Structure 1
Amino acid sequence: MRKFTVFAFLLLVMMGGMAAQAQDAGPAIEPWACPESVQVMENKTLNIFNWATYIGENTIPDFENLCGVTVTLDYFDSNESMLTRLRQGNPGYDIVIPSDYAIPTMIEEGLLLPLDHARIPNLDNLMTDLREAPFDPESKYAVPYLWGTFGIGYNVNSVEEPVSSWMQFFEHDGAVAWTEDSRIMLSIALLVTGHSPNSSDPDEIEVAKQFLLDHSDNVVIIAADDGQEWLAKGDVDMAIEYNGDIFQINLDCECEDFTYVIPQEGSGISSGFIAIPTGAQNPDLAQVFIDYILDPQVGAEIANFTTYPSPNQVAVDAGLIDPIMRENPGIYPPEEMRKNLYFLLPQDEDTEQLFNDIWTEIKIALQAG
């Protein structure tokens, strides 16, 4: 039987209520203003390490204009590559946005600086359940940024039958894209082969590896966080991707050619958190940026642009979230779908190494094939 963390349970309960919170806009919310203390930081540069397509269109330029600073963006395509970069020594990042399962490892390894809540008053805008993650219950090191699910995105014009299961993806006779994220791929394979997606049993992981190898003939790309682009270009019929990324390409093309499904066997929840990495060059400015991100209007702009759900309760209550998003089951899953959702839990060092070794073996096999 699949086991859920307390955090997972609380989030699923919270998700159930969010879909019903399509309220009329409440009292006017004052626009965020840059603190006077930032005047001494003017002309400084804030360096952000983030996923691609995981920020609002105006989020960065608005912050630059409000605070008189420069922001640079660098991107990673998996939590594993992000961890590798920071373990080698922070090259100058002030902000990092890892997934939930990476946070405990980063705290344990001293890769994150503690936050000063006095400098982040907008922390109170967040959903309480999300702030009380068991790996950081007091939000000492990280705060929620966005959350979503990973599943199957596909071109409705290229796939004859509506997709509802992982096996339809793996048995599809056309071109498909996998994700570069080894945790996601192996968790799916574990689930489909009848095991916990968080299994650390070497024998079960070996079965998952073999399943992926046996169903890899039509894989044309292991996408580095850009499977949706391969789908949009028509290079693949189906892709394993995050829900927000698939909805983004429909918005970009102003069409309805692509859809996203949470397979009936189950799928994973992924929450993005915002944090300050150890060795940050401008930690004070980073605190200000986090407060800015947690502003209701800013948080809503990010959610509405990326099409990922927002953890900002004030934004939801004020009706700032696009109602089309709130009513979309691929973004806010209904109760029957939520029952089969799971979190990717932290791995011990041996299991993490096993996953990395197996994933390398799989990619070598695909390249040779």
Structure 2
Amino acid sequence: MPFIRPAWAQTQTVRALMWEAYVLPDVVSKFEEENNVKFVATFFDGNSEAYNKLRVGGAKEFDLVQADGFWPQLYFRDGLIRSVDYAHVPSAANYLPEFHAEKFKVLTNPASGSKIGYPFCWGAYGITYNAAVVAPEKTGTIECMFDPALS
């Protein structure tokens, strides 16, 4: 009779669909060691590629998915990701005030108000502004992005 290993003895795997540049080997090794898990990443070259991977059944293949811009809203609307609970991620309390759940609406489902993701980086995206509307002295920091008068 074949030996069947009990499920509790198996190392858990965390599967991620993500940008390759965000895999930091030292961080991954430490995470795996501290949590007794294996981290397995699948990469994509663009958000549309990730979206297509999720649409063809990949939503059941991944535990974590990276996305930016409007893509998380699209993923959620299409049922490819589910809402998240900031209470389950204690480090979310350390976010800059602009990224706290009640203020950061980019990762919020407008219909239900539920959170659909966690901010994970500033990114390397350029920020443009209308110089006819935003005074130059307001552009020294990103505060103008969160100014209700400029919304």
Q: Please give the range of the TM-score, normalised by the shorter of the 2 chains.
A: 0.5 to 0.7
Once the 2 structures are TM-superposed, how far is the Cα of residue 108 of structure 1 from its aligned partner?
1.2
Deviations along 1:39-65, whole A, 9 cap, x unmatched? x68601111111011133311111111
State the 4+ residue runs in structure 1 displaced beyond 6 angstroms. none
User: Is 2:77 the partner of 1:102?
Assistant: no
Structure 1 residue corresponding to 2:139, chosen from 335, 342, 347: 335
Q: Which residue is equivalent to 1:136? A: 107
TM-score using structure 1 length: 0.29
Equivalent residues in 2 for 1:205-354, closer than 5 Å: 266=128, 335=139
Q: Tell me, in whole angstroms, the C-alpha distance in 2 between the residues paired with 1:149 and 1:56.
A: 17
Q: Tell me, in whole angstroms, the C-alpha distance in 1 between the residues paired with 2:106 and 2:49.
A: 21
More strand by share: 1
Q: Tell me, in whole angstroms, the C-alpha distance in 2 between the residues paired with 1:47 and 1:55.
A: 12
State the percentage of identical aligned residues: 22
Q: Which residue is equivalent to 2:86? A: 117
Q: Which residue is equivalent to 1:3? A: none
Q: Which residue is equivalent to 1:78? A: 46
Q: Which residue is equivalent to 2:124? A: 149
3-state SS of 1:134 partner = coil
Which amino acid in 2 is paired with 1:143? Y
Does the CA-based 8 Å contact 1:49-1:76 persist in structure 2? yes
Q: Tell me, in whole angstroms, the C-alpha distance in 2 between the residues paired with 1:42 and 1:66.
A: 16
Once the 2 structures are TM-superposed, how far is the Cα of residue 70 of structure 1 from its aligned partner?
0.9
Segments of 5+ residues of structure 2 without an aligned counterpart are 1-7, 130-137, 146-151
Q: Tell me, in whole angstroms, the C-alpha distance in 1 between the residues paired with 2:85 and 2:17.
A: 20
Identify if the C-alpha distance between structure 1 residues 109 and 71 changes in structure 2 by more than 3 Å, giving closer, same or farther.
Answer: same
Q: Supply the RMSD in Å over aligned alpha carbons.
A: 2.9
TM-score using structure 2 length: 0.66
3-state SS of 2:79 partner = coil
Deviations along 1:331-350, whole A, 9 cap, x unmatched? xxx935969x9xxxxxxxxx
3-state SS of 2:107 partner = coil
Structure 1 residue corresponding to 2:36, chosen from 44, 54, 68: 68
User: Is 2:57 the partner of 1:59?
Assistant: no
Which amino acid in 1 is paired with 2:85? D
Q: Which residue is equivalent to 1:44? A: 12
3-state SS of 2:121 partner = strand
